[in-house]
């Protein structure tokens, strides 16, 4: 285990840049804040570049002691609470975070499996909740259009609760790039000229597109869709939150295909 005492340590300065979401070199690094995210990452068999731990809290906190056992000693760095608080991106941090290399997936020639396309979903909390919902629904690939919240940002990581590590994530995929690869039927949610989710038989593999919070999905997606779908809702409110609408669709699909 290493000990770092100075804020001028080069490794610490690099970690700080990464935690703050700034670029470091050519590689794409990510800051995984807190016990749960680090655990979820390690559970997937991924490695960390460094695990940063508050030395004072480590002495007292059994959960932290358990966590560091899972990481090779040479990757663990202990540091004073004051330095750890600088690294931490949340108000009441747990005294731990990891620097890790972001998994990168290269867009294939074709898309043959169930997946989700997010069209300009701007709110980081919505994107995070969507990822968590998609993973829980058993789908493993998400394509994000330009204009979506940055998928590896701290806010998205926080609300996705580790779902990132269960998914293949493709950022900055234009509608054209997505459509020209797509070999499964495209279903989009729409309020007009759409069929009720509860009166249709969903095919085994579906690509679902969910759109911007205010504007919904782009016309190009609607035109390319095999089916436009609406969720039969009360008129008491105008619409559903995008992550909630996605949940209703994805779990109805799961129900129809007998996953109990």
**In whole angstroms, what is the distance from residue 228 CA to residue 222 CA?**
7
Neighbours of 218 (CB within 10 A): 18
103-126 CB burial, b ≥16 within 10 A, e <16 = beeeeeeebeebbbbbbbbebbeb
Task: Choose, by CB under 8 A, the member of 82, 102, 150, 259 that binds a second copy.
Answer: 259
Supply the minimum distance, in Å, between the C-beta of residue 197 and a second copy.
Answer: 8
The verdict on 166 binding a second copy (CB under 8 A) reads: yes
The verdict on 92 binding a second copy (CB under 8 A) reads: no
Q: Which CB atom, from 73 or from 237, has the smaller least distance to a second copy?
A: 237
x/- track of binding to a second copy for residues 179-208 (CB under 8 A): -----------------x-xx---------
Taking a C-beta distance cutoff of 8 angstroms, is the pair 83, 24 a contact? no
Supply the minimum distance, in Å, between the C-beta of residue 105 and a second copy.
Answer: 16
Task: Choose, by CB under 8 A, the member of 10, 25, 45, 232 that binds a second copy.
Answer: 232
Q: Stretches 48-56, 168-176, 201-209, 239-247: which one binds a second copy (CB under 8 A)? A: 239-247
x/- track of binding to a second copy for residues 121-160 (CB under 8 A): ----x---x--xx-xxxx-x------------------x-
**In whole angstroms, what is the distance from residue 116 CA to residue 182 CA?**
11
The verdict on 88 binding a second copy (CB under 8 A) reads: no
**In whole angstroms, what is the distance from residue 56 CA to residue 41 CA?**
24
Q: Stretches 58-66, 146-154, 216-224, 234-242: which one binds a second copy (CB under 8 A)? A: 234-242
Task: Choose, by CB under 8 A, the member of 22, 70, 85, 255 that binds a second copy.
Answer: 255
**Where does this chain bind a second copy (CB under 8 A)?**
125, 129, 132-133, 135-138, 140, 159, 161-163, 166-167, 196, 198-199, 231-234, 236-241, 243-244, 247-248, 251-252, 254-255, 259-260
């Amino acid at each position: 285990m290493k000990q770092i005492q100075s804020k001028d340590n080069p490794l610490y300065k690099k970690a700080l840049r990464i935690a703050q979401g700034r670029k470091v070199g050519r590689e794409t690094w990510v800051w995984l804040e807190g016990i749960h995210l680090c655990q979820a990452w390690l559970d997937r068999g991924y490695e960390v570049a460094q695990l940063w731990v508050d030395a004072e809290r480590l002495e007292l906190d059994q959960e932290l002691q358990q966590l560091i056992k899972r990481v090779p000693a040479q990757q663990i760095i202990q540091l004073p609470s004051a330095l750890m608080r600088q690294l931490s991106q949340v108000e009441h941090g747990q005294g731990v975070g990891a620097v890790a290399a972001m998994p990168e997936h290269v867009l294939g020639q074709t898309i043959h499996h169930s997946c989700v396309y997010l069209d300009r979903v701007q709110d980081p909390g919505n994107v995070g909740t969507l990822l968590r919902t998609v993973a829980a629904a058993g789908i493993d690939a998400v394509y994000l259009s330009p204009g979506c919240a940055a998928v590896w940002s701290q806010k998205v990581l926080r609300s996705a609760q580790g779902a990132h590590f269960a998914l293949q994530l493709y950022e900055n995929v234009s509608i054209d790039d997505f459509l020209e690869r797509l070999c499964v039927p495209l279903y989009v949610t729409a309020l007009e000229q759409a069929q009720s989710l509860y009166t249709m038989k969903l095919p085994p593999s579906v690509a679902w597109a969910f759109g911007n919070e205010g504007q919904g999905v782009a016309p190009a997606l609607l035109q390319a869709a095999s089916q436009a779908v609406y969720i039969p809702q009360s008129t008491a409110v105008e619409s559903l939150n995008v992550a909630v609408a996605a949940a209703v669709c994805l779990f109805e699909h799961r129900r129809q295909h007998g996953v109990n």
